[in-house]
Amino acid sequence: MTSVCPACARELPEGATACPGCHLSAALFGSVREAAAQSRDSDPASLRTIAELLETIDLEHPAPPDANAPRSLRSVSRSGAVRTAPLPAPERDAEPLSPLRGLPALPPIATVGELKRRLEEYFALGHRLGLDFTEFERRSNAARLVDDVPSLEVLSREMFVHLSSALAEEFESELARRNELAQLMPTRAADVELEAIGRAIATGDLPGAGRRLTHVTDELARVEEEWQVGRILVTECELLAAAVRDLGGDPAPALGPIEEGRRQIAEGHRAAGERLLAHAATALWSLLEPRLMDDLRRLKERLTEFRASGLDIAPALEELRNLAAELRERNFAGALAAYRRMRAYVERVGAPGGEGLAEPAVVDALRPAPSG
């Protein structure tokens, strides 16, 4: 019977050990299918393990007093929290667009009426760009009262210089934004507008360039929003892969769908790419889960020792409950963050090598201040 990859739906050739499409290891097909079949109303087995760990720590009776032990771990640093992952590496080889070249040409003014209309357009554009044209407005009003055309022409040239500089700066900002996004997703509509802006500025059509810049800003915001879900999924996968390595495992069997998912998104196939990344996260979790549960059992034993020494372990148990809550929502990154914070508590209080309490200086820092 032909096997079908649960991540990308490609058929697996007989004897193959990985999907020919997304390169997901065939050994993980069952785990991914099982996870996909679960609903949010059915709790994974790991939640039962966490519940058992919580039940084995006796919180109904107070711990034996110990005058030499700190009463709380709440001052422990949360340095084990997950840091924000960097932006994904570029997946596309998009050619960067060129910056503006040369100086814009001041358009010729044929009539007084055209001059006045151009000044109105310049004032509107300056307002959109947030420029302070108060002095220009004063001079314009004074010149219009007496039909001082030479003064209006001088004003037009000065405003042209200010607007050209402001537009060039905004153009360069949007161009840099486009060049970064183009390495992740297609930016065809923005590319057309940016090239047209360069031509408009070169010929002195500043109002036209300003209108097109507005379109570019909106289009790039749309592209960023489309990529945001993919970026979150990639970050989650990278965090899970790092956790597998941290606990001595090898995430390689589940990494194929990540690269394929990023490639699909880079080519504009966002929905297909996001599905692959979601399946990759599930596959990585299946590799991480048994190792993580083993380490939680180790941490539980340490917490039991700390409590026997008079420590308040409630903050660490709170993180264990947070871990369970995140798993119930299938938020793997959130569960991993809670686990790392819990581990940070234990490592902060535990001595090097995992035996006994921390160095005296650490314990003293956690002691409550003496009363009276």
Residue 132, pLDDT score: 93
φ and ψ of 316, to 5 deg: -70, -40
Residue 37, pLDDT score: 64
Q: Which two tokens stand for residue 248?
A: 């001595």
Average pLDDT of span 259-267: 84
Band the pLDDT of 166: cuts 50, 70, 90: very high
Count CA atoms within 13 Å of residue 266 on its CB side: 18
The terminus-to-terminus CA distance of the chain in angstroms comes to 78
Q: What residues have CB less than 8 Å from 138, skipping those under 6 apart?
A: none
**Positive or negative torsion for Cα 349, 351, 355, 357:** negative
Greater pLDDT, 286 or 372: 286
Q: Which two tokens stand for residue 84?
A: 């924000």
Taking the C-alpha atoms of residue 122 and residue 104, their distance in angstroms, rounded to an integer, is 15
Closest by alpha carbon to 95, among 219, 178, 189?
178
Distances (CA, A) of 302 to 163, 211, 232: 66, 64, 33
Cβ–Cβ under 8 Å, residues 243 and 292? yes
Residue 71, pLDDT score: 34
Beta bridge partners of 196: none
Closest by alpha carbon to 45, among 328, 295, 279?
328
Band the pLDDT of 2: cuts 50, 70, 90: low
Cβ–Cβ under 8 Å, residues 253 and 25? yes
Q: What is the pLDDT of residues 131-163, one digit of tens each?
A: 999 999 999 999 998 889 999 999 999 999 999
Which amino acid does the sequence have at 107? P
Greater pLDDT, 34 or 2: 34
- ∠ Cα 78 80 82 (to 5°): 110
Cβ–Cβ under 8 Å, residues 24 and 7? yes
Q: What is the pLDDT of residues 168-197, one digit of tens each?
A: 999 999 999 998 888 877 888 999 999 999
Taking the C-alpha atoms of residue 81 and residue 344, their distance in angstroms, rounded to an integer, is 8
* Rounded percentage of the chain residues whose pLDDT exceeds 90: 28
Residue listed under structure tokens 């002095």? 135
Closest by alpha carbon to 282, among 85, 36, 23, 10?
36
